[in-house]
């Protein structure tokens, strides 16, 4: 069986504003850590040069970033809270996208 291997770089997706340093100070930075067979909480974390192998990314709705990270083999995404509700809404509405949805 072939092994999946991907480089990951996502910068400041939904990142706190620069003028709100108190929010930025609540973000944890994790550097050069290997995660293997773990549930990895993504919210409010910056991952730098980390490696993820056979992990589950658990995400709700907080800011996050991945910088020069690696994903290896069977790592999956498990949205919770607001992230799960957003994905469910998208799945319900997706068939109508681009097909003349009424204005809100």
pLDDT at 52: 94
The per-residue pLDDT for 89 is 86
The number of CA neighbours under 13 Å toward the Cβ of 42 is 25
For residue 1, the model assigns a pLDDT of 44
pLDDT of residue 25: 62
- pLDDT for res 99: 62
Mapped onto helix, strand or coil, the DSSP state of residue 55 is: coil
For residue 47, give the H/E element and its range.
Answer: strand 45-48
Q: What is the pLDDT along the chain (104 residues), one digit of tens a residue?
A: 445 566 666 655 555 556 555 555 678 999 999 999 999 999 999 999 999 999 999 998 888 888 899 988 888 888 888 888 988 888 888 777 666 555 55
């Amino acid at each position: 069986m072939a092994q999946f291997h991907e480089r990951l770089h996502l910068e400041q997706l939904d990142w706190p504003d620069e003028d709100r340093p108190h929010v930025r100070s609540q973000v944890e930075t994790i550097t050069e850590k290997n995660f293997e067979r773990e549930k990895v909480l993504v919210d409010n974390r910056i991952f730098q040069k980390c490696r993820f192998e056979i992990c589950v990314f658990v995400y709700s709705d907080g800011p996050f970033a991945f910088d020069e990270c690696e994903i290896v083999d069977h790592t999956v995404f498990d949205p919770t809270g607001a992230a799960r509700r957003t994905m469910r809404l998208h799945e319900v509405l997706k068939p109508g996208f681009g097909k003349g949805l009424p204005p809100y």
